Amino acid sequence: MSEPNPRLPGQPHIARLGDTLHVEQVSLQTLAREHGTPLFVYSKQWMLDALAAYQRGFEGRNALICYAMKANSSLGILRVFAQAGCGFDIVSGGELARVLAVGAEPAKIIFSGVGKTRAEMRQALDADIGCFNVESEEELDVLNEVAVAAGRRAPVSIRINPNVDPKTHPYISTGLKGNKFGIAHDRALHAYQHAASLPGLKVVGIDCHIGSQITEASPYLDALERVLDLVQAIEEAGIPLHHIDFGGGLGIDYNGDTPPAADDLWQQLLARIDARGFGQRKLIIEPGRSLVGNAGVCVTEVLYTKPGEDKNFCIVDAAMNDLPRPAMYQAYHRIEQLSARHGDAAKTYDVVGPVCESGDWIGRDRVLDVRAGDLLAVLSAGAYCMSMASNYNTRNRAAEVLVSGSSATLIRRRETLEDQMRNELAGD
């Protein structure tokens, strides 16, 4: 086998062996032939390397890394992080069931989200999870009622909205006063005093999460100072806090983005924490995208090329139901040909899917030399793609494969029409 050419920028697990793209040591073309397209392929080593950066940052500290599983909730991905000793940040009863199915330790599970139902609260109490991140004062009262009825005390951390701009897309900003998440900074002490007075609750920590795809350290540093001010005020009021949860949100490189490395970021944050006298406190973080985003590739087949007066279109078999980020966030994903041609027939295309929406596009203004039947790799597809996939236009969700070295394991079979319609009733 020939030596790999230089690896793709920001994608150390992807290289061309000969003239064909590989994830680790496995040919994407071979996987596409075996499993069909669209197909999601993930590098296990990339995920473990991303996790190792956080582990280095917290070496010697009392810290818990909880994977924010909304980024990608496939069981095969969850098992990788469970076996690596991670906890999990969940936002629904369904996510709780998934992490328990792969052997997650209940004490390492954090339940976030603004709309927990009573049934979900009881489910989490029965599982004996580590903490509820409570996001409103009414939620405190409801959780207290559920816990008292169950004869339990629910461990709680209150999510604080610090009103810090994360400098990211407005749809994934969560720490500004106009966002739905958390309790306002100036209401925090009152909320903690109320929580401490309720018999079904046990206050154990404080939580803050300001957004997603953050590419600068400054928003974290600003939020950190506001949270530590609150920790001091809350404890001066006689309410001890066992842990401080700083959430996640660290971005990845989609298109020349330059987020700080996880270990570098946490060296900066820990220096501030130490300077404020909180260095011995238990720390919890909840990374998601930064652990899986660049580990994933979506392989898609070119169905047609269609010249137009204003645009050339490359129509592929992946669509907005498979890769929703461009339609939802106008997000950029790099697109590479699996086998590059060396002629001079390259054109500028909009890469689009077959869904009946003008918003169904994967990439705009991409220079490609393609024909029907060629395969493309949509990069950085490990986060918020498969977990947000849908059956719009009655399209089956894709298969998923996990690669480790030279081995490839199918972790999700391609959905069938029978799967889609199994629970539907046509009526009379």
* CA–CA distance, 403 with 298 (Å, rounded to integer): 13
Contact between 252 and 332 (Cβ < 8 Å): no
Question: Which residues on adjacent β-strands are paired with residue 211?
Answer: 173
* Residue in the structure block whose two tokens are 């003008």: 358
Burial of 407 (0-12, 13-18, 19+ CB in 10 A): exposed
* CA–CA distance, 425 with 216 (Å, rounded to integer): 50
Question: Which residues on adjacent β-strands are paired with residue 282?
Answer: 243
Contact between 408 and 401 (Cβ < 8 Å): yes
| Whether residue 385 lies in the annotated active site | no
Catalytic residue among 131, 298, 356, 385: 356
- In order of 60, 128, 253, 354, the CA distances from 324 in angstroms are 39, 34, 18, 13
Report how far Cα 363 is from the mean position of its chain's Cα atoms. 21
- Phi/psi-derived region of residue 109, left when phi > 0, alpha when psi is between -120 and 50, beta in every other case: beta
Which are the catalytic amino acids? 356
